[in-house]
């Protein structure tokens, strides 16, 4: 009988070396420097090729699909078990205390760096799980395929391209969330709110990098005859915020730092533009400020679309703001339970915005994911997890969105354990080395049970 955890421990040194090398590739979306050969930027291609090269090194079948996605395959048979994850990461932010965001430093039982939790660490654990099955020579009747995408944090163009030509797994999971298992994921509605307006006060503004992150930094350049330096410093001191002030005549520039968290739980963060507008609202008149304060919050209450369903509460994250040449653009990520009607919600928001001269464009919907808890896939994965950990907590739902929803039948399965701090999309992202070893063991036995 295989002792999965003891077998997993044998791979610790090699796994950490391979993961550190992967972390050191700064695979943040870089469309500004995209080429035909590197449609999402060269670093994203480098990260994909690094992963595939591991498979080649260890004797697996590999395939690269247009430098957007690729797979590592093991075994034989007509049926296919898939593990879908990603090697792209979100921007790093500032204030890292443990090495740099791309150091892969190992300190005090943790490995640090962007992607250690989301999603290079979990994918490396899945890779070593498959390697363990191969090294042990355990008999399988199905193929196992590790599929790596490079655009999960943005538009999912990687999986769209991949499944346009490649085989869809019959079943599988995405190691891009929490243990014990997530059987339901909220639907998503991504869109832009646009207001074309030549503002008398605000000259330019910017905040945020991604729709699925709460903006950590905001900057507003504006005209005001009053010198706001003293008032602004008092505001920063009162709320213990960090910010800067600059002035040239009646043109003033304010910056502020909020708290970045994953956009699926925006209420846990501090939206930098919201708090900067909170201050400015007392000193200048601007329809841009009025628009944000009238309609934007974290749960849809101000739009009149708040909702609570089986998968939880509706959330809204305004993740990117820009005002350039008279165009105010807000990129929004909305997440909702399966019962909520996205089309009706869009209509409600469009109607509410119209009197302000604002409108919605680029609306894209992703349906919610739901797999019944008595499905054999869930019973198998949850059974392995509970046997290995002794943790019998109830299975989960989430506001996050993983590649599980693109599969014929898939769920999100780890690898964030109960009690481990969730630092995804935050500074000093890290994962305990012990969690990686436990995940290798859980994934190895789970894949064996699915593919034997």
Rounded to 5 degrees, φ, ψ at 266 are -60, -25
CA atoms within 13 A on the CB side of 6: 3
Beta-bridge mates of residue 308: 313
Query: CA angle at residue 377 from 386 to 83, to 5 degrees?
Result: 95
Euclidean distance between CA atoms 54 and 47, whole angstroms: 11
Which amino acids are annotated catalytic? 88, 152
- Are 377 and 411 in contact, with CB atoms under 8 Å apart? yes
On the question of a cis peptide bond just before residue 232, with omega within 30 degrees of 0, the verdict is no
Buried b (16+ CB within 10 A) or exposed e, 320-359: bbebeeeebbbbbbbbbbbebebeebbeebeebbeeeebe
On the question of a cis peptide bond just before residue 180, with omega within 30 degrees of 0, the verdict is yes
Euclidean distance between CA atoms 258 and 309, whole angstroms: 29
- Are 197 and 288 in contact, with CB atoms under 8 Å apart? yes
- Are 3 and 132 in contact, with CB atoms under 8 Å apart? no
The alpha carbon of residue 98 and the mean position of all alpha carbons in its chain are separated, in whole angstroms, by 21
Q: Please give the radius of gyration of the chain, using alpha carbons only, rounded to the nearest integer.
A: 23
Task: Indicate the helix (H) or strand (E) that contains 127.
Answer: helix 120-136
- Are 203 and 223 in contact, with CB atoms under 8 Å apart? yes
Residue 60 CB burial class (10 angstroms; 0-12, 13-18, ≥19):
buried
Q: What is the DSSP letter of 197?
A: -
């Amino acid at each position: 009988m295989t002792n999965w955890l003891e077998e997993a421990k044998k791979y610790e040194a090699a796994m950490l070396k391979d993961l550190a090398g992967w972390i050191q590739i700064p695979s943040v979306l870089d469309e500004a420097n995209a080429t035909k050969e590197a449609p999402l930027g060269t670093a994203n291609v480098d990260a994909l090729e690094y992963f595939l090269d591991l498979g080649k090194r260890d004797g697996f079948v590999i395939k690269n699909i247009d430098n957007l996605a690729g797979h590592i395959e093991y075994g034989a048979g007509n049926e296919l078990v898939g593990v879908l994850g990603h090697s792209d990461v979100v921007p790093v932010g500032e204030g890292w205390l443990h090495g740099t965001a791309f150091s892969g430093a190992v300190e005090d039982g943790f490995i640090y760096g962007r992607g250690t939790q989301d999603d290079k660490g979990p994918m490396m654990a899945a890779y070593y799980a498959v390697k363990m099955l191969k090294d042990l020579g355990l008999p399988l009747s199905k193929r196992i395929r590790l599929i790596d995408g490079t655009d999960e944090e943005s538009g999912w163009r990687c999986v769209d391209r991949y499944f346009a030509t490649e085989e869809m797994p019959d079943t599988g999971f995405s190691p891009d969330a929490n243990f014990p298992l997530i059987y339901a994921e909220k639907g998503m509605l991504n869109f832009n709110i646009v207001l074309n307006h030549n503002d008398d006060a605000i000259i330019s503004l910017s905040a945020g990098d991604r729709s699925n992150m709460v903006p950590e930094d905001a900057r507003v350049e504006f005209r005001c005859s009053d010198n706001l330096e003293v008032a602004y410093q008092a505001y920063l001191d009162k709320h213990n915020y960090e910010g800067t002030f600059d002035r040239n005549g009646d043109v003033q520039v304010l910056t502020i730092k909020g708290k970045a968290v994953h956009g699926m739980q925006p209420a846990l963060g501090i939206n930098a533009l919201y708090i900067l507008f909170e201050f400015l609202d007392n000193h200048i008149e601007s329809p841009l400020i009025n628009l944000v304060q009238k309609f934007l919050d974290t749960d849809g209450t101000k739009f009149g679309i708040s909702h609570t369903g089986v998968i939880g509460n509706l959330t809204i994250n305004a993740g990117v703001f820009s005002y350039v040449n008279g165009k105010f653009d807000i990129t929004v990520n909305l997440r909702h339970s399966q019962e909520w009607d996205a089309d009706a919600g869009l209509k409600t928001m469009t109607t509410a915005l119209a009197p302000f001269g604002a409108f919605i464009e680029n609306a894209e919907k992703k349906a919610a994911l739901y797999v019944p808890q008595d499905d054999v896939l869930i019973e198998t994965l949850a059974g392995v997890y509970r046997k290995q950990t002794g943790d019998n907590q109830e299975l989960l739902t989430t506001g996050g969105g993983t590649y599980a929803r693109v599969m014929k039948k898939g769920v999100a399965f780890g690898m964030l354990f109960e009690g481990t701090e969730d630092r995804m999309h935050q500074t000093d992202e890290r994962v305990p080395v012990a969690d990686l070893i436990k995940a290798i063991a859980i994934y190895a036995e789970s894949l064996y049970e699915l593919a034997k």
